[in-house]
Structure 1
């Protein structure tokens, strides 16, 4: 927000993990929200993820480029309607490259993220007021390129931990609508999660109840 009394500053949460508040303007957030609503439509639309142990994720998900399921990737929704996964748009891959460039700077972005086309996967998670995400690592990819995370809607507590354990030490960061998180390098495989959603905090201009998180990844699978 540009009218905050004390504007939030960008910062390094951990080595290689950068938080950039307000990276997306409200118009770009609206565009992404409209795109997410289209992606959420069946076939290969928004689904509940069932875990191998019998539980379910409280955040619902839709995938682009490749379909993520616990714990791998496929070209079809193997744990849902079986439809081919929706394609990863080139403009979204380019947004991922811009995010890495802005978070790290030109030199590091070129070394770590490569071509914008390298971003070939997007996971879109929708959180209602009661949804959570347990501590986990994004470790099903074969690439060490940074992960890009975009937030739209309700604010949340984003818990960013270490690479060894799901427990402490970790740092809690408030992510608001429009915020960017990029984590790579020594923090690429850090455990992270969302223990709390601040319901009702989404910008009124969006007309959104809940939180959307768009996570962009490089699969390295082909």
Structure 2
């Protein structure tokens, strides 16, 4: 299967930036097809990579994409689950080309499941995405249970704007612990989603999540120092 997946802006529109997605445990870039198509419709290029836990070379691939001058800026690293930890690591190391971070479902500890039915329910409430994961031969089940050494999210070393997205009903990474991880970091804007579960980019509220990201991106394009474009998302 491809090492990366790509979705580009519609023909005739100028690209407004590039999103580089780092997948979470068990996932591959193709899992983010719906997300990639939706953001591409808004004229953002999306490059979705694999799971850095399973394949550390993903981080080298991300660095190459960040350095690729053919890809339009701003360039935003999007990390889901453990991908969020690695995205934060790249930014904390001052990797060239990172203009902002989107961290979704940041993991804060080990999770114990009771089989696939419990895992897929914890991941997403979206029946379409549940079916996608269940029927995907390249998706690896059960890895949320594995003890994995992950980089610490050194947000104190991150010098770019950060959008943190988290589901209020995330049992894999409970919201309270995630908020603790983001506390005392003024560069982080946190948005929580009522009823949201762990795979927030592919959850039942995926349209609202995508719209939230687009608002963040549009503000980033103008200037991260400007007032918020919209507040009080319900």
Quickly name the TM-score band, shorter chain normalised. Answer: under 0.3
More strand by share: 1
Q: Which structure ranks higher in relative contact order (CA pairs < 8 Å, sequence separation ≥ 6)?
A: 1
